[in-house]
């Protein structure tokens, strides 16, 4: 069941193989959920924690929805999966939300020996070597990079090959058909009055309507 506070629940703190999925989740959709479930099963993860970003440094100057709305949509979307949790760790930390800081905090709170897997999309991973303290980060956890069908992996593989030379826990690529869904497209559909049903959980769709998001 999704958590509604910043503390680490017992199943997260005691997990031996923990997935961490970061993102703005503006809004969260089935592509995110399927990616997390594929990663959980394929890599035998005990729990996947969704971490909505507080102040995403890569979206400077881009308008995003308030953190409370993105957090609530993520809680609603993950509530029915007992292997999913939601953390406010980035929202409750002041300043830009850097992955290296988030992974470091998870590392200090989890039991010794816990294997951490950071789950991210290909569009973000292609820039991984430009992330804050990238070399330190690549030595702190494994990476699961999700691609969508038809995605050109030429540049991605070249960048990941460079990153693998630094990584100590591995970088793995998985294809997820549902990633053809995008938050950008959903926001545009809402603005245009087009249907978004079956692109995201009904609970999230209802929240978007009631909160008047993306209009």
pLDDT tens sequence across 167-192: 999 999 999 999 999 999 999 999 99
Number of H helices, E strands in the chain: 9, 6
For residue 208, pLDDT over 80 is answered with yes
3-state helix, strand, coil in the chain (%, to 5): 40, 15, 40
At 15-55, the pLDDT tens digits run: 899 999 999 999 999 999 999 999 999 999 999 999 999 98
pTM: 0.93
The domains found in the chain, sorted by start residue, are: 10-211 (3.40.50.620)
Query: What is the percentage of the chain residues whose pLDDT exceeds 90?
Result: 85
Question: Residues 176, 148: contact at Cβ < 8 Å?
Answer: yes
pLDDT tens-digit map of 64-113: 999 999 999 999 999 999 999 999 999 999 999 999 999 999 999 999 99
């Amino acid at each position: 069941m999704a958590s509604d506070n910043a503390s680490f629940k017992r199943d997260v703190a005691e997990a031996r193989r923990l997935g961490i999925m970061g993102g703005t989740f503006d809004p969260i959709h089935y592509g995110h959920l399927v990616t997390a479930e594929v990663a959980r099963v394929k890599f035998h993860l005990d729990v996947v924690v969704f971490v909505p970003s507080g102040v995403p440094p890569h979206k400077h100057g881009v308008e995003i929805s308030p953190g409370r709305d993105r957090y609530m949509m993520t809680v609603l979307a993950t509530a029915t999966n007992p292997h999913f949790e939601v953390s406010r760790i980035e929202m409750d930390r002041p300043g830009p939300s850097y992955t290296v800081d988030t992974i470091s905090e998870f590392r200090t709170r989890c039991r010794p020996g816990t294997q951490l897997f950071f789950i991210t999309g290909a569009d973000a991973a292609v820039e991984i070597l430009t992330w804050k303290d990238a070399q330190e980060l690549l030595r702190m956890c494994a990476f699961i990079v999700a691609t969508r069908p038809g995605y050109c992996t030429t540049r991605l593989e070249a960048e990941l090959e460079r990153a693998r030379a630094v990584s100590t826990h591995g970088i793995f690529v998985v294809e997820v058909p549902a990633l053809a869904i995008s938050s950008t497209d959903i926001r545009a559909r809402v603005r245009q009055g087009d249907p978004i049903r079956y692109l995201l959980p009904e609970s999230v769709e209802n929240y978007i309507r009631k909160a008047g998001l993306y209009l």
